[in-house]
Chain A
Amino acid sequence: MEVLVASAIGVLTAAGIYMILRLRTFPVVVGMSLLSYAVNVFLFATGRLVINQPPILRDGVTSYTDPIPQALVLTAIVISFGMTAVVVMLALGAFIEAGNDRIDLEEEEDGQ
């Protein structure tokens, strides 16, 4: 199981980084989403992998998984939505204003 999770995080990271190195806004946004998955799962996994022991107290049950990374990641997921929304909006605004969706500044500003 650990191998699967670790490799999945690695693949998500690699794909995310490859995508954020592209030159247009949309792939970069996609790359950031992938990186968000990678980071969230990474943080979650720091609580170690535990199966069938959700941190919900029940009578007679003594072992639970680590709840803290879960609480951290829960808010991180919601915040990453907020971040994605802002970035998407910026990308869209830049596209509408500039007429293209490049992320790099042009060498020379045209016009005035």
Chain B
Amino acid sequence: MSPALIAALPFLGAAMPSILIRTGRTNAAAVSALFTGLALLGLLLNLPTVMAGGVVETKIDWLPWLGLNVNFWIDGLGMLFATLILGIGLLIILYARFYLSNKDPVGQFYTYLLLFQGAMVGIVLSDNILLLLIFWELTSLSSFLLIGYWKHLPAGRQGARMALTVTGLGGLSMIAGMLILGNIAGSYDISEILQHKDAIQASPYYIPALLLILGGAFTKSAQFPFHFWLPHAMAAPTPVSAYLHSATMVKAGLFLMARMWPVLSGTPEWFYIVASVGLITMLIAAKIAIFKHDMKALLAFSTVSHLGLITFMLGLGTEAGALAAVFHIINHATFKAALFMSAGIVDHEAGTRDLTRVSGLRKLMPITFVIATIAALSMAGIPFFNGFLSKEMMLEAAAHTKWLDNSWLIPVLATIAALFSATYAFRFISHGFFGPPPQDLPKTPHDPPFGMWISPAFLAFLVIAIGLFPMAVAGGYVQMATNAVVGGGYHMHELKIWHGVTPALIMSAIAVTGGIALLAAHRPFQRLWDATPRPEAKAMFDWVVVKVQSLAAWITQGLHTGAMARYLMLFTITAVGVGLYAFMSGTLGPQTRALTPVNGAAVTSWLLLLTATMCIVAFHHNRILALVLIGIVGLTVSISFIFLSAPDLALTQISVEIVTTVLMLLALNFLPKITSIESSRMKIGFDVGLSVAAGVAVSGLIYALLTRDFAFPTMSGYMLDNSYNLAGGDNVVNVILVDFRGYDTFGEITVLGIAALVIFALTEALLQGASSRKLIAWRPDVPRGGDKHPLMLLIVTRVMMPIALVVGLYIFLRGHNAPGGGFIAGLVVAIALVTQYMASGFAWTQARQKVYYHVLIASGVLVAGITGAGAFFNDMPFLTSDFGYVKLPGLDKFELATAAGFDLGVFLGVVGSVMLALGGLSRLARRAAMGEEGGEEGAHIAAEKPEARVLAPLSAGPYPPEAKVPRRWWKTARAAREATQNERDTVHENKKTNGGDH
């Protein structure tokens, strides 16, 4: 089976348990086991190839220009880890079926577990470090879900957060390190990087890369000083602890060190950092484990200690060290997972796992006792169990290692650590299973059902099998994986129990006897331990988190004050500053374009524009005046466009100008008409200075551009040359819009439609609840003209309407070959419609409206999209246009282009958007008019909402007399929704009044 499929299988199956949980826990577990089993089977099919020294690969290009390829490979190391992950995964799935109760969301558990499993398999089979990083982060996320699985337990949630924070930060550090590494090697493929040992170790970036990568590995594998998160993660259900925190996830860091071992190890830096950290971790964690009463906490610290051991071995940088590390990875996974499951069984059956409460379980739970004892003896390093073999290797390697020319330090520390390790292993058994029968337990302990003990029993069987026949059972795997770690060409000596009386054997004997002695003296030591104050990792972690949070809050509040004028000011200063820097540090090329001559019309427009703009600044406190002046600016800009060879722009600008003015007038209807002067003279002076600086900068920039030719030939030549040939249009601007850059235009009409819908939504919100009442209570602040709908205007606009529509149609049709097109035609038609609203009133027009503007927007986008999709029938990409010439009797030959269909979409979208936007503001005005004129307008208001239109004739009938009061009318006319909203608001207001009393 291909490596990619093996990694994908758990992900593919992840949704299944959550679906099948409806049919029971067993089915959810079975389907998880099925997918895991398939992946394991697929993996093992590749075993012969990999054992023979081969590598199985799948290579899929994903983002090759980033160096990110979905490359998977199975080499010896990947094979070892993937077997552990999937194999132990199967056992855990079975165990969890019996461990979790039917009150737990079991489907979720298996989904998370499969996600985690897929991510883990992804890590160990990735042949690309960027891909590996993605899976790495996925393990952090999925383990967060698993640790926090019991959401009701605060310890679980906090432990999950802590684990995510620590491993997540480590992951970030590792990303940086990996990028450096990939940069040095010139490839992100692991198989490629592994070939560049010399280049990497000679690089000046070797140390930073090493430190950053180790940051990721140490946090993941809980190495000192990042070890504190692992014990807190033990708040997870025991299957999670057994799987993530002993067999798999915490070994990801080790895997990474082993993976990169060929290129990173062998330097003094590697030795002194990795070996020392490993040794310190092994020692400290073992010491802490001795004094833990919670079985799982004891095992957690013991795990940290054993991870330290493996790190220490990898840190040696020798082949013997690599061998010991690989072998201990296998052995630790077997005995520790079995121990965790045994602790889980005790917890499950006795109701507690506190070593001070349970005792004498040997007689009550014989099966569990046997399993736990086998695993614990292996952990203690007793001969004939597998832990003994790898521990011997460790001691042997330690005996020959010098630390800064000191030849006794490392052997002594390693022996002490082994001694502690034996102590806590013995304590686990003697305090838990020996001694007097337990008193006062929450439950009467007994052995669990077969399904629950078979998984740890199988692992215990492996412990003995490897312990007795290491070469036959595990030899092939160890050789294969060690060969991969050291980068090939490795031949392992036979794994055997008896090597003669070696230093390691002596150290081992000291450790075991010392361990027994220390356990005998446990009580006084425990008292001493309990009496000594220790740094509490969780408290320190929480303190740091709180400090970081308050720092973040301080920064946010300092920067994000809610003063928009300040943001804009800072933004302008920055932009001007950066521009100034660029100007000062860059060079300005020579002027290559002659100035265009000036004529009187140009100077006149220029003067007009300048005067109008200056007047806006000077007189903007009078808002109506500012609006008039803005209109002048807009018209001048339109004229300039005509003058400067841009007829399409001129038409667009002038029509947009009209709708914008209507829009602003509608808004000004409500807003104050005067802006009072609030800024101090100093602020005004500063703002003027800043604006002038920005203006000068922009002027200078565009002047420099205008007086220089293009540095490179532009695309325009292509478009001018091919506009007619390829798209059949003479108006190149329109051809660009509907054809060459049709995708952009498609996006733009969509955005415009969304903007209009946003306005609609805002209007809806304002027409509800408190703001609706404010609108009704609103009274105009300027006198109204006497004539609401002037007769002249009314007649003229109604007569003009068909003419305007014909003009719109004409502009639309000619757009492809002459100035015009969908945008402009849409605006012209929108203006024609708006004038109807202005002259005849909102209600009159609305009542005659046949098509809703929402529909126009939607059909615009759809028409454009469908036209574009039509190209598929021609086997062309989306939005490729086609055109031809048609001759109809009685008419000249004319051209028909599919682009016209697209342009129709643009037209519809523009009409709909503009009208919906203006309509929103008009509806607010209607609501306000309701208060102004009393309830008589009720029928019109009912007509405001399209769906209420049908009801309008009904509600136009006689109202009860009290309906004159608008608010009461409102209550009766609208359905329960509005009524409850009002109620809520009333309650709200009452609260406010009450709050104001004291």
B992 contacts A111, C-beta separation under 8 Å: yes
**How many angstroms between the C-alpha atoms of A46 and B707 in the bound complex?**
10
> Of B241-249, B640-648, B888-896, which stretch is located at the interface?
B640-648
**How many angstroms between the C-alpha atoms of A21 and B921 in the bound complex?**
26
B748-773 vs A, CB cutoff 8 Å, 1 = contact: the mask equals 10011001101100110110001100
B613 contacts A12, C-beta separation under 8 Å: yes
**How many angstroms between the C-alpha atoms of A56 and B695 in the bound complex?**
33
B598 contacts A46, C-beta separation under 8 Å: no
Cβ-neighbour of A23 out of B565, B598, B733 (below 8 A): B565
Cβ-neighbour of B733 out of A7, A74, A90 (below 8 A): A74
Tell me how far the C-beta of B331 lies from the nearest C-beta in chain A, rounded to whole angstroms. 62
Residues of B within 8 A of A79 (CB): 748, 751-752, 755
Instruction: State the main secondary structure of chain B at its contact with A.
Output: helix
B664 contacts A88, C-beta separation under 8 Å: yes
Closest B residue to A21 by beta carbon equals B687
Residues of A within 8 A of B568 (CB): 17, 20-21
Residues of A within 8 A of B770 (CB): 97
Cβ-neighbour of B641 out of A17, A21, A44, A99 (below 8 A): A44
A6 contacts B699, C-beta separation under 8 Å: yes
Give chain B interface residues in 700-736, CB to chain A under 8 Å.
700, 702-703, 705-707, 709-710, 714-716, 719-720, 723-724, 730-733, 736
B648-662 vs A, CB cutoff 8 Å, 1 = contact: the mask equals 110011001001100
**How many angstroms between the C-alpha atoms of A11 and B605 in the bound complex?**
14
B691 contacts A67, C-beta separation under 8 Å: no
Residues of B within 8 A of A68 (CB): 714-716, 719, 736
**How many angstroms between the C-alpha atoms of A4 and B918 in the bound complex?**
35
Residues of B within 8 A of A101 (CB): 671-672
Closest A residue to B626 by beta carbon equals A30
Tell me how far the C-beta of B853 lies from the nearest C-beta in chain A, rounded to whole angstroms. 13
Tell me how far the C-beta of B659 lies from the nearest C-beta in chain A, rounded to whole angstroms. 6
Q: A23-B678, A85-B755 are in contact. Are A48 and B561 (CB under 8 A)?
A: no
Give chain A interface residues in 25-48, CB to chain B under 8 Å.
25-30, 33-34, 37-38, 40-42, 44-48
Residues of A within 8 A of B751 (CB): 79, 82
Task: Tell me whether B737 is interfacial, beta carbon within 8 Å.
Answer: yes
B687 contacts A13, C-beta separation under 8 Å: no
**How many angstroms between the C-alpha atoms of A36 and B917 in the bound complex?**
19
Tell me how far the C-beta of B913 lies from the nearest C-beta in chain A, rounded to whole angstroms. 6
B3-33 vs A, CB cutoff 8 Å, 1 = contact: the mask equals 0000000000000000000000000000000
Task: Tell me whether B819 is interfacial, beta carbon within 8 Å.
Answer: yes
Cβ-neighbour of A78 out of B598, B656, B692, B700 (below 8 A): B656
B563 contacts A17, C-beta separation under 8 Å: no
Tell me how far the C-beta of A27 lies from the nearest C-beta in chain B, rounded to whole angstroms. 5
Q: A2-B706, A15-B616 are in contact. Are A38 and B698 (CB under 8 A)?
A: yes
A25 contacts B671, C-beta separation under 8 Å: yes
A76-112 vs B, CB cutoff 8 Å, 1 = contact: the mask equals 0111111111101111110111010101111000011
Tell me how far the C-beta of B392 lies from the nearest C-beta in chain A, rounded to whole angstroms. 70
A67 contacts B595, C-beta separation under 8 Å: no
B755 contacts A82, C-beta separation under 8 Å: yes
Q: A21-B568, A30-B630, A92-B667 are in contact. Are A10 and B698 (CB under 8 A)?
A: yes
Residues of B within 8 A of A30 (CB): 616, 620, 626-627, 630
**How many angstroms between the C-alpha atoms of A49 and B771 in the bound complex?**
50
Q: A48-B593, A96-B774 are in contact. Are A19 and B617 (CB under 8 A)?
A: yes
Sort A-B residue pairs by CB-CB distance and give the 10 closest, nearest first: A105-B562, A14-B695, A10-B699, A82-B755, A6-B703, A1-B596, A18-B691, A71-B736, A67-B732, A10-B695
Report 6 cross-chain contacts, Cβ distance below 8 Å, ordered by A residue: A13-B691, A21-B691, A44-B644, A50-B644, A78-B656, A88-B667
A-B contacts besides A30-B620, A88-B663, 11 pairs, CB < 8 Å: A11-B613, A13-B694, A13-B699, A37-B634, A45-B705, A48-B709, A50-B645, A64-B720, A68-B715, A101-B672, A104-B564
Chain A interface residues toward B at CB < 8 A? 1-30, 33-34, 37-38, 40-42, 44-58, 64-68, 70-71, 73-75, 77-86, 88-93, 95-97, 99, 101, 103-106, 111-112
Chain B interface residues toward A at CB < 8 A? 561-566, 568-569, 572, 593, 595-598, 602-603, 606, 609-610, 613-614, 616-617, 620, 623, 626-627, 630, 633-634, 637, 640-641, 643-649, 652-653, 656, 659-660, 663-664, 667-668, 670-672, 675, 678-679, 687-688, 690-692, 694-696, 698-700, 702-703, 705-707, 709-710, 714-716, 719-720, 723-724, 730-733, 736-737, 741, 744-745, 748, 751-752, 755-756, 758-759, 762-763, 765-766, 770-771, 774-775, 817-819, 823, 827, 910, 913-914, 917-918, 920-921, 924, 991-992, 995
